[in-house]
Structure formats: structure tokens, C-alpha cells
Amino acid sequence: MVYVSNFPTLAPGKFAVKNVPSKNAPLHERSLINIAESTDAFRIEMALPGLEKSDVNLVIEDSLLLVQAKKSFELPEGFEYNRKELTGYAIERKFELSDVIHTEGIQAEMKNGLLVVSLPKKAPRTFQIEIA
């Protein structure tokens, strides 16, 4: 009997969660990230200081995780600007997900300007092959 597992193994230098760089994005339109891995999941930590949960949008398109955030600043009534440098900003980050990620199980949490996205791995599947 031969046992086969469909749990993919990644070659050295290959990642199951890969950051897709934004072309020509200025530094203030990017956000710092950490990507970590455990035996059963990946974790993306993204710094989004000053942003609320309602300012952030996460979308999965095929094998791409898209994180978009937008913040605008409004002047309280009765005030007038003498100088305006802080108008708002938009951030977009893309992550290419491999087939080891269970996309339906992805969860996200936002707390104190830190977005944490949990990406569970697919469970390994082992089956038996009869030899004729």
C-alpha cells in the first residue's frame, strides 16, 4: 500500500502568503506588516495607526487578499484652516495566497490600529491507494 497526502510542501524560498508590492506607492500610502506562520495557520499583522475598523476593507479575489484602508480628516464646524497638510490618505496592500490556505476560514480583527488577519491552513488529507 502507498499513502499519499495532498498537503502541499513549499520549496525553499517559496511562501504560502506572499506580499505583492504596490507599484510606485509612496511610503505614506503603505503600511508596515509582519507575516508569521504556525503549524496550522498564518498570521498577517498590519499597522494602521489612527484607523478604525470601519476605515478598513478586506476582499479576497481568487488567490489574492486585498486590504484597503482610507482615512479623511474633517474640520469641526466653526473652524477655518490656516494651514492644511493633513488631508487624509489611502492604503492598499495585496497578498498572494497559495493553495494551502483555507480561504473560507480567514478571520480578521482590528484593535488599537493593528489589523490581525488569521489565515488557517487546509488540513492534510491522506488516503490509501490499492496496488493492482
pLDDT for res 8? 41
pLDDT surpassing 80 at residue 19: no
pLDDT for res 15? 57
DSSP 121: B
Task: Write out 41-79 in H/E/C secondary structure.
Answer: EEEEEEECCCCCHHHEEEEEECCEEEEEEEEECCCCCCC
- Given pLDDT bands bounded at 50, 70 and 90, which one contains residue 1? very low
- Given pLDDT bands bounded at 50, 70 and 90, which one contains residue 5? very low
In tens, the pLDDT along 39-72 reads 899 999 999 988 899 999 999 998 889 999 988 8
pLDDT for res 115? 96
pLDDT for res 12? 42
Cell of 72: 479623511
